[in-house]
């Protein structure tokens, strides 16, 4: 019995020593990050080459899981948060300032957040197929006035981040007239799906004419499929800004590694890879360094965005206006 105890203890000890040799950085990431097609494997490869550590992704729900775990969370860093949760995340006190110099950022708007660090962005947009629509609506107003047989699919703002961004987009463009705008849009909306994947699947299957997606979606088709027929309709009223963020946990047991990771996020290595890795625009890379397919994208001149406090104030009523209009 004693020898067994000893063996077990020795086993634990040597496992502990092995751990001490290669420190582990635990990164919580959204689910799609870690598939062979997501950005996770490339991030892991690039970062491990410079840190002499073991980067481990733990995919799944981000904020709900961290809030459940509280200060006992295993995460050192979280990557892939959206602006809809930053307020709640900030108020939890579980995150620490990133300490990264923000001057390299090339976002279309000013970003001064000390906790949440952007790594890529895009905008909400309605994506269409040029072989099916010759002249897409040239503005949001034109979309509202389009004939009712124009078939749109959107995402539900209560279960999807892009759906929520659409509701805020309509709010930003139409203000008090948002509900009336939804009334005009309602007959064209075929359905509101749970998430982006279902919507986009319906679009690629030819079930709808336009899908609520991102300005960056056509880049995937251009680069990966050599297909230039998918385009985002650009509206002069502006498009809602969608950014993905990384943050460091205050209670991390690997503070140096976490800091190193945070500065890696804005490095040229990371930024050069993320465009085709995550099909989004790099947050800190000048346009001439973007992959060619991204340089071909139609991008909006005007970008709309609510700060987290503004969004928190507007959100419930904006979603409710959407629900009322689409329930009629």
Instruction: Kindly determine how many residues on this chain lie close enough to bind other proteins according to the rule CB under 8 A.
Output: 55
Per-residue contact string for residues 16-45; x = within reach of other proteins by CB under 8 A: ---------------xx-xxxxx-x-----
- Does residue 229 belong to the site contacting other proteins (CB under 8 A)? no
Q: Which residues in 256-285 contact other proteins (CB under 8 A)?
A: 279
**Residue whose CB is less far from other proteins, 36 or 309:** 36
**Residue whose CB is less far from other proteins, 240 or 322:** 322
The Cα–Cα gap between 82 and 84 comes to: 5
**130, 224, 286, 317: which one binds other proteins (CB under 8 A):** 224
Q: Which residues in 140-199 contact other proteins (CB under 8 A)?
A: 151, 156, 158-159, 164, 186, 189-194, 196-198
- Does residue 90 belong to the site contacting other proteins (CB under 8 A)? no
Q: What are phi and psi of 123, to 5 degrees?
A: -135, 150
The Cα–Cα gap between 138 and 159 comes to: 29
**Residue whose CB is less far from other proteins, 2 or 72:** 72
Closest contact distance (angstroms) between CB of 105 and other proteins is: 25
- Does residue 207 belong to the site contacting other proteins (CB under 8 A)? yes
Helix (H), strand (E) at residue 323 = helix 308-327
> What torsion do the CA atoms of 43, 303, 239, 161 make, to the nearest 10 degrees?
40
Specify the residue for token string 């995340």.
Answer: 89
| CB-based contact 257:23 (threshold 8 Å) | yes
**24, 67, 102, 115: which one binds other proteins (CB under 8 A):** 67
> What torsion do the CA atoms of 224, 210, 173, 90 make, to the nearest 10 degrees?
-50
**208, 242, 284, 321: which one binds other proteins (CB under 8 A):** 208
Q: What are phi and psi of 296, to 5 degrees?
A: -80, -10
| CB-based contact 247:116 (threshold 8 Å) | yes
């Amino acid at each position: 019995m004693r020898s067994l105890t000893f063996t077990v203890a020795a086993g634990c000890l040597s496992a502990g020593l092995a751990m001490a040799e290669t420190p582990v950085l635990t990164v919580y990431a959204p689910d799609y990050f870690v598939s062979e097609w997501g950005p996770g494997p490339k991030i892991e490869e690039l970062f491990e080459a410079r840190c002499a550590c073991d980067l481990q992704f733990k995919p799944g729900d981000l904020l709900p899981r961290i809030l459940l775990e509280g200060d006992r969370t295993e995460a050192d860093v979280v990557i892939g948060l959206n602006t809809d949760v930053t307020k709640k995340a900030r108020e939890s006190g579980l995150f620490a300032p990133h300490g990264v110099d923000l001057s390299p950022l090339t976002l279309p708007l000013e970003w001064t957040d000390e906790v949440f660090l952007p790594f890529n962005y895009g905008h909400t947009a309605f994506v269409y197929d040029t072989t099916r629509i010759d002249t897409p609506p040239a503005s949001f107003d034109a979309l509202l006035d389009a004939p009712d047989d124009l078939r749109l699919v959107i995402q539900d703002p209560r279960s999807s981040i892009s759906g929520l961004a659409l509701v805020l987009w309509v709010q930003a463009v139409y203000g008090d007239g948002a509900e009336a705008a939804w009334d005009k849009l309602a007959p064209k909306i075929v359905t509101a799906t749970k998430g982006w994947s279902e919507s986009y699947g319906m679009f690629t299957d030819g079930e709808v004419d336009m899908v609520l997606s991102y300005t960056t979606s056509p880049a995937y088709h251009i680069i990966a499929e050599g297909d230039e027929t998918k385009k985002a309709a650009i509206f002069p009223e502006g498009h809602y800004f969608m950014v993905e963020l990384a943050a460091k946990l205050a209670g991390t047991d690997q503070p140096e590694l976490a800091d190193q990771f945070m500065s890696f996020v804005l490095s040229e290595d990371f930024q050069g890879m993320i465009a085709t890795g995550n099909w989004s625009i790099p947050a800190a890379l000048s346009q001439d360094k973007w992959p060619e397919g991204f340089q071909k994208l139609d991008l909006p001149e005007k970008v709309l965005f609510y700060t987290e406090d503004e969004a928190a104030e507007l959100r419930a009523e904006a979603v409710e206006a959407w629900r009322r209009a689409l329930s009629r």
